[in-house]
Amino acid sequence: MPAEVLSYFLKNSNQKLRLKFQIVLQCAPFLKGLKISCVISVEDALYDGLEEIFQEMDISYRKLCSMDGKCLVLFYRSKELEAYMMRPDIKLLLEEYGYQNQNMEDFLLRLSERVCTFSENGMGFPHEIGIFLGYPVEDVRGFIENEGQKYLMIGYWKVYKNLARAKMIFNEYDRAKNCAVNEFLTGKSIREIAQY
């Protein structure tokens, strides 16, 4: 995608248009059904505009934390994320971080609390956010065990196991991004782009 296109949309004075483009650009794999969720940083002043963008869509969103005029927003499809979070390997890792026998709302509340605590203390993100974003459990564990070092590859996440699978997924995500951005440039709405 040409840098001029990115620059035009990301610096556009129309805040609503800029927000929509940001969502399409940063959430394309999620919008196209390839990811379980996605997270982006949005200006606090634009957060309320999300309701209009996602009304009557099967997409939920939640403000995880707000700081310095920006908020971190998690987008997800409730039923899909809930089913994913109930997988035994996912639950086991989450239990290590205090997510005990909880329902989806409790999981999201705990994640939000931890994201805010980490942010307030300048600690980045809690490691388990990778689980909520659908990263492979073995790569989340690899990141934790290796303190973010000794990875095989960096793409949409740091890869510690199954490099071939990760490369394939990253290529699919790149194709989804190109497709979604092109659809947006031809005038499709986020609702139309998210039809998969």
The pLDDT tens digits for 64-91 are: 999 999 999 999 999 999 999 999 999 9
Closest CA to 27 of 59, 51, 56: 59
In the chain, how many domains are there?
1
For residue 148, give its domain range. 3-193
pLDDT, one tens digit per residue, over 96-138 is: 999 987 789 999 999 999 999 999 998 999 999 999 999 999 9
Residue indicated by tokens 């990760």: 166
Asked whether 125 and 115 are in contact (CB, 8 A), the reply is yes
The token pair at 90 is 């996912």
Asked whether 143 and 166 are in contact (CB, 8 A), the reply is no
Among 11-15, 43-47, 190-194, the least confident range: 11-15
Q: What is the dihedral of CA 166, 169, 171, 172, to 10 degrees?
A: 180
For the whole model, what pTM was predicted?
A: 0.92
The CA-CA-CA angle for residues 83, 86, 91, to 5°, reads 150
DSSP 116: H
